[in-house]
Structure 1
Amino acid sequence: MDYDLAVIGTGTAAMVCAMRVAKAGKSVAVIDEKPFGGTCALRGCDPKKMLVAGVEVIDAKRRMAPHGVVGDVRIDWPELIDFKRSFTDPVPEKHEQRYKEGGIATLHGTASFSGPNRLRVGERELTASNFLIATGAKPRRLDIPGEEHLVDNEDFLSLAVLPKRIVLVGGGYIAAEFAHIAARAGAKVTVVQRGPRMLTGFEPELVEWLMDAFDRIGVYVETGLNVAAIEQRGDDYVVHAEGDGRAMQFDADLVVHAAGRVPALDRLDLDAAGIATENGRLSLNDFLQSESNSAVYAAGDAASNGPMLTPVSSHDAKVVAANLIEGNHKKPD
């Protein structure tokens, strides 16, 4: 075998597991088709916090305006994006260097299984005793006409110029966060949610506070509507939605996918390794080990049946690392 462990992905789960297993004296390789760092560091939590830091100043000024704080403040979006990039741009090189210092091989390219213990990365094929799928998540397919016009979280967090009219499809926490950022930065924002309210997994009282805040900053929320199609008209878009006997249209310069995420597994050719799935998710046992190929584990968003959060990813990775190091798992047949 080329390695004791091959890790697909370089996000939180991947790094935590790879570092622990390598420290235990095992040979490890990590593979990623994107810059090293994963969603949280590059395309999610951390860059979002950089933008939030800017728009919080707008809100603080509003709250303090009656108490001696005077003058106008506004967001210069390109400069705010440059501020974000000052944090995110150095991440891939730092992560790759950290792997190399830990004695971990780093490979760049799209990984796909070519057998139960084989992985293809570009033109190279490698073997490993065990594999960790830590490929994160991607926006779920909506299967509607014009779906290709949607942008995802990565696109939104990299916008060079903030569009004037933004429609967010979906009403979860990504929609809530992006709506606040965009509205406080000066965009006209509309949220289209199929459920009866936004953030259905949160306490209703908290959601009411959010709706009050949306009213103050001019975010328009339309619930009980399913987006049926996205139509491009020149440089603009029209979002067609329907529900409860209503048919509505929303004009936009940008339409953002915020309607849920699913494990990113489609490029891995799981069938070639005999890795079973159910309803688009990996079939795993209590050790986060594939029920059909005991050489394969998963962690983080790729393994998730619950919240796709960084602390969950870290916990999963620690579980997998302990199982690999201590042997507390089903052995290969």
Structure 2
Amino acid sequence: MDHEYDLLVIGAGMAGISAATKCASQGWRVGIVDDLPYGGTCALRGCDPKKILRRGAEVVEAARLMAGKGVLDPGLAMDWAALNQHKHTFTDPLPQQMEQNLRTHGVDALHGPAQFTGPRSVLVAQAEHTAAKVLIATGAVPRPLDFPGSEHLIDSTEFLNLTDLPGRIVFLGGGFISFEFAHIAARAGSTTVIVDRGVRPLKEFDADLVELLVARGAEAGVEVRRRTSIASIEKTGTGYTVSLETPRGTTTVETDLVVHGAGRQADLARLNLEAAGVRYGDAGVEVEAHLQSTTNPRVYAAGDAAATPGRPLTPVAVAEAKVAASNMLKSATAVPDYSATPTTVFSIPELVRIGMLEEEARASGVDVEVRYTDTSGWYSQHRIGEHAGAVKILVDRSDDRIVGAHLFGADYAELGNTISLAMKHGLTASQLRSANATYPSVGSDLGSLL
């Protein structure tokens, strides 16, 4: 059945759902479509299920850290199948819950692949729908790789759905996916190797803290091989032989699994954007700062499907979608606020970044004061038996405002949220330092870090 919509949203992840409900609440007739279960990558195939699996690793690591410190039997082990089933108790009900929520808001929930047939028309499951506005919020997919044996790679979705975790795993790429999954797998008892072609992994994070993370990961069994790339993968009777190109020549490693963690690109190839006159690239739909397509004013894009300055994070995608929805509703040109957005590698311990790197601050002319603190011996670490931690806070001497914050340590993501809020609202380091905090808590460390 064909429909005319005020807004048709392509992609039923958190960004698309946010925009759809916002516009429907203002009386617009809204449809949303996805060919996968509703919920998107973060809720079903990424952030949320990953963090559930990480909890098993956290518990195992916590017991190990307290061995000889009052915990008599630290020999815990992860039951991967049971942990994965626990994950499914969260992810499995979500699509139906989200669809029901959309219907409650009056949104039509459509299913199937979507393809543009014109500037404002989209074909879904043999039915053509037209819309005054279209929002593309299809997210991202693993970047295609082309080397002999690349078909043997599994992606992050497949890793999260493994019912059994093999004993040997190679992770390709030195980014979020590889580090987070490797830190989980190592605590589950797997031998893990991260292969990174660069000089250092996690390039968007503070170099000094990345080195601390690499060293701490090595203690837990996470090996990082730098300046190394995969030349080929060959299936064997017992697993795979991975040929590696290194600065010293070619070598091989035997493994049971090779996981693709070498980047993602906007999921746009199937949309037939040419029919809509929408310009795009690997980074996403080309949009103005207010998220409207540069070539088709009826089309907007948000999240990983849009080529914006925003980081590929779910909160950023949702914020962009809300701005896009507001702009469509009001015929406005508001621009998303990307300032002070925290981003975290949920390794064990975790690594956090907010704002500028040290080199970026200097290059931009900031009279920066670097306040570096080794927190490895602090009470918040000592209490849990941890021995790794450090914080680097960048303060502009001219106005005492924080321009960057970089944290490595247990539960520091929550500490980062407080710093992010202070940065976003222009609090000075002195003002933030003056706040009283519940003690003893990780948050109470902040005053001393400033």
User: TM-score scaled by structure 2?
Assistant: 0.71
Q: 2:216 aligns with which of 198, 213, 217?
A: 213
Matched, 1:262 2:265: yes
AA in 1 matched with 2:189: G
Larger-gyration structure (1/2):
2
Q: 2:15 aligns with which of 3, 13, 16?
A: 13
Q: Secondary structure at the match of 1:66?
A: coil
Residues in 1 aligned to 2:131 and 2:238: alpha-carbon distance in whole angstroms? 49
CA deviation profile, 1:124-161 (whole Å, cap 9, x unmatched): 11111111110010011122222211111110111011
Structure 1 residues 158 and 264 mapped into 2: Cα distance closer, same or farther (>3 Å)? same
Matched, 1:132 2:149: no
AA in 2 matched with 1:5: L
Q: Offset of 1:248 from its aligned partner?
A: 2.0
- Provide structure 2 residue ranges, at least 5 long, that are not aligned to the other structure: 335-450
Q: Name the residue aligned to 2:40.
A: 38
CA deviation profile, 1:25-59 (whole Å, cap 9, x unmatched): 10100101000000110001100110111110111
Q: 2:24 aligns with which of 15, 22, 27?
A: 22
Report the more deviating stretch, 29-38 or 1-10.
1-10
AA in 1 matched with 2:114: A
Residues in 2 aligned to 1:252 and 1:279: alpha-carbon distance in whole angstroms? 31
Q: Would you say how many aligned residue pairs link Structure 1 and Structure 2?
A: 330
Q: Offset of 1:211 from its aligned partner?
A: 1.4
Q: Offset of 1:245 from its aligned partner?
A: 4.5
Report the more deviating stretch, 2-11 or 306-315.
306-315
Q: Name the residue aligned to 1:324.
A: 328
Q: Secondary structure at the match of 2:250?
A: strand
CA deviation profile, 1:255-293 (whole Å, cap 9, x unmatched): 100001111111111111111124553211111111111
Matched, 1:166 2:153: no
Residues in 1 aligned to 2:219 and 2:246: alpha-carbon distance in whole angstroms? 26
Q: Name the residue aligned to 1:308.
A: 312
Matched, 1:110 2:113: yes
Q: Name the residue aligned to 1:298.
A: 301
Residues in 1 aligned to 2:282 and 2:17: alpha-carbon distance in whole angstroms? 27
Q: Secondary structure at the match of 2:194?
A: strand
Residues in 1 aligned to 2:234 and 2:141: alpha-carbon distance in whole angstroms? 23
Residues in 2 aligned to 1:292 and 1:243: alpha-carbon distance in whole angstroms? 44
Q: Name the residue aligned to 2:199.
A: 196
Q: Secondary structure at the match of 1:194?
A: coil
Q: Name the residue aligned to 1:150.
A: 153
Structure of greater relative contact order (alpha carbons < 8 Å, 6+ residues apart): 1
Report the more deviating stretch, 234-243 or 209-218.
234-243
Q: Secondary structure at the match of 1:143?
A: coil
Give yes or no for contact 2:266–2:282 (8 Å, CA) kept in 1.
no
Give yes or no for contact 2:182–2:192 (8 Å, CA) kept in 1.
yes
AA in 2 matched with 1:263: A
Residues in 1 aligned to 2:238 and 2:127: alpha-carbon distance in whole angstroms? 42
Q: Offset of 1:67 from its aligned partner?
A: 1.0
Q: Offset of 1:101 from its aligned partner?
A: 0.2
Residues in 2 aligned to 1:113 and 1:239: alpha-carbon distance in whole angstroms? 41
Q: Secondary structure at the match of 2:67?
A: helix
Q: Secondary structure at the match of 2:295?
A: coil
AA in 2 matched with 1:194: R
Q: 1:179 aligns with which of 178, 182, 190?
A: 182
Structure 1 residues 34 and 248 mapped into 2: Cα distance closer, same or farther (>3 Å)? same
Q: Offset of 1:233 from its aligned partner?
A: 2.1
User: TM-score scaled by structure 1?
Assistant: 0.96
Structure 1 residues 54 and 21 mapped into 2: Cα distance closer, same or farther (>3 Å)? same
Report the more deviating stretch, 155-164 or 137-146.
137-146
Residues in 2 aligned to 1:12 and 1:248: alpha-carbon distance in whole angstroms? 43
AA in 2 matched with 1:175: S
Structure 1 residues 271 and 182 mapped into 2: Cα distance closer, same or farther (>3 Å)? same
Residues in 1 aligned to 2:97 and 2:238: alpha-carbon distance in whole angstroms? 39
1:217-228 to 2 correspondences below 5 Å: 217-228=220-231
Give yes or no for contact 2:284–2:304 (8 Å, CA) kept in 1.
no
Q: Secondary structure at the match of 1:78?
A: helix
Q: Secondary structure at the match of 1:2?
A: strand
